Amino acid sequence: MAIRAGSILHLSGQNVIDRIQQAGLGNVNLPVETVREVGNRQVVDKVPQEPDFTFSMNSLDVTTDIMAWLTGKPAGSAASAAAPGATDPAGTQYNWLDCKFVNIPSPWKDPNTGSAGVVQAGHLIPGYYPTKISYSFGVTDNAQISVELGGGAFYYFEGTPVETSYIANGATKVFLTPEVAVWSRKGGAEGASFRTVFGVLVNGELMTEGVDYTVTGGAEAPGAVATVTFTVAPAVGADIRVCYFTSAAHSYPQTVHASTLVKPGAVRGRNIEFLINGVRIGGIQQATLEATVEGEVERELGTEDIVGRVNNGTDCNGTVTLRSKDKNAFFDVLEKVTGVSRKEVFGWFNNKTVKVEIKIKNPKNTAETIKTLLVEDAKFQPPGTPAQVNTATDFAVSFSSLSGTFAEVKSQ
């Protein structure tokens, strides 16, 4: 029997990430350097280089759950399975500039257990950082969000991948996993040293084993849990996250998809509004928004793990495809995005910034806004004229955030 997508989950904390259409690691071929030497026609060795893997995910979820998770908002306990940011009030902003490192446990359910959702194996993707997020909206399309994250490791085990969390009290240095943690042999089959925890995060910052913390116990001492001891006690209220694999029984039944509201299966274009400085723009066929992070992973001597990420800067861009019903509607949009009076000539250059809001409504109650994408300083570029025979003319208008960022706003 094949491993089916319906059995594979991806978690943010204890909460299942909803409405996923596609998710997984991309090219995982480890780069290798071939070593040769003078006087020898054979290869001396093939040395593995440092990996930089990419995890991508596409979802129809239109709530703020995913962005709250990426910006380090704590999720609920295993008992509640609450979504990240579940207790945040309406109006909370999740800013692209505030993204953190995250862990992605991926339990695989036994298809023979039905709705019980008994986990039979799993995949763990620890300490990955968001590098790109994209939104896509269309008149006859489902609203979609795509995320890319970068990291340097992944693991499999015939058991359950778990992320557990703790809240620091400012004095405690020692934290224990609630179950026996199974070891991973460093360096492959010939390795004689082991690790039992992965993706140790404090307030979304990636910690380094041997520098920020040490680990004892786990499956190296049969029947024992793993003990994480920090060099310095994390500050009061710090959110601590630790990943491990366990052979203990786990399950993720169908009802584990928890949230503070009943989510729509998908949202279509009829329930999405595009506003410029609070004014709704008509004639829009499609809209996109994409934010990126430029940077590279950080490494140091003495560890095979990534120790952080250098962020050189962010950027945020988008497009709006207009099908104006007549020339008056077309020039009305130009006036709004450029600030130039319709009595004047519109040139190719625009230096005015406007506030862009993309409001996603609840299809079952259109008076309720699920979330708003907010770009405070969007600068629009006047479009070209892509005329084509027997076809309505669609004008693709591009815009860019002057500060290179955006935010999601919860419930408004």
Q: Which residues contact 188 (CB under 8 A, 6 or more apart)?
A: none
Looking at the fold, whether 289 and 222 belong to one and the same domain comes out as no
Looking at the fold, whether 316 and 394 belong to one and the same domain comes out as yes
**Residue 257 in domain:** no
Looking at the fold, whether 302 and 393 belong to one and the same domain comes out as yes
Average the pLDDT over 40-48 and give the result.
88
Give the pLDDT band (50/70/90) at residue 62.
very high
**The pLDDT of residue 79:** 45
Looking at the fold, whether 284 and 342 belong to one and the same domain comes out as yes
Cα dist from 107 to 57, 222, 251, whole Å: 16, 23, 9
Comparison of pLDDT for 221 and 116, the residue scoring more = 116
Give the pLDDT band (50/70/90) at residue 295.
confident
**Residue 380 in domain:** yes
Average the pLDDT over 163-192 and give the result.
91
Whole-number mean pLDDT of the chain?
Answer: 89
Give the pLDDT band (50/70/90) at residue 161.
very high
- Helix, strand, coil abundance in the chain, percent, nearest 5: 10, 50, 40
In DSSP notation, 66-89 reads HHHHHTT-----TTT-PPTTTTPP
Distance between CA 161 and CA 245 in Å, rounded?
Answer: 4
Percent over 90 (pLDDT), the chain: 62
**Residue 92 in domain:** no
> At 115, which amino acid appears?
S
Looking at the fold, whether 358 and 391 belong to one and the same domain comes out as yes
Question: Is it the case that residue 233 has pLDDT exceeding 50?
Answer: yes
**The pLDDT of residue 191:** 81
Comparison of pLDDT for 376 and 221, the residue scoring more = 376
Looking at the fold, whether 308 and 400 belong to one and the same domain comes out as yes
**Residue 211 in domain:** yes
Comparison of pLDDT for 3 and 276, the residue scoring more = 276
Looking at the fold, whether 207 and 276 belong to one and the same domain comes out as no
For residue range 315-371, what is the model confidence (pLDDT) as tens digits? 999 999 999 888 899 999 999 999 999 999 999 999 999 999 999 999 989 999 999
Listed ranges 8-12, 74-78, 319-323; the one with the highest mean pLDDT:
319-323
CB 58 within 8 A of CB 146: yes
Q: Which of 22-31, 253-262, 335-344, 351-360 has the lowest mean pLDDT?
A: 253-262
Q: Can you give the CATH number for the domain in which 305 is found?
A: 2.30.110
Q: Which of 82-86, 153-157, 219-223, 272-276 has the lowest mean pLDDT?
A: 219-223
Give the pLDDT band (50/70/90) at residue 175.
very high
Range of the domain at 174: 163-246
Average the pLDDT over 271-295 and give the result.
94
Cα dist from 226 to 173, 178, 192, 221, whole Å: 14, 8, 18, 9
Question: Is it the case that residue 375 has pLDDT exceeding 90?
Answer: yes
Looking at the fold, whether 390 and 277 belong to one and the same domain comes out as yes
As for how many domains the chain has, the answer is 2
Q: Tokens standing for 392? A: 């309505």
Distance between CA 128 and CA 159 in Å, rounded?
Answer: 22
**Residue 196 in domain:** yes
**Residue 135 in domain:** no
pTM: 0.92
Looking at the fold, whether 343 and 381 belong to one and the same domain comes out as yes
**Residue 299 in domain:** yes
Residue 92 main-chain phi, psi, to 5 deg: -65, 135
CB 322 within 8 A of CB 383: yes
Looking at the fold, whether 403 and 286 belong to one and the same domain comes out as yes
Q: Which of 125-134, 247-256, 300-309 has the lowest mean pLDDT?
A: 247-256
DSSP class of residue 333 equals H
Task: Label residue 315 exposed, middle or buried (CB < 10 Å: 0-12, 13-18, 19+).
Answer: middle
**The pLDDT of residue 177:** 94
Average the pLDDT over 88-111 and give the result.
93
Average the pLDDT over 288-295 and give the result.
94
Looking at the fold, whether 241 and 290 belong to one and the same domain comes out as no
Average the pLDDT over 257-261 and give the result.
52
**Residue 123 in domain:** no
Looking at the fold, whether 291 and 214 belong to one and the same domain comes out as no
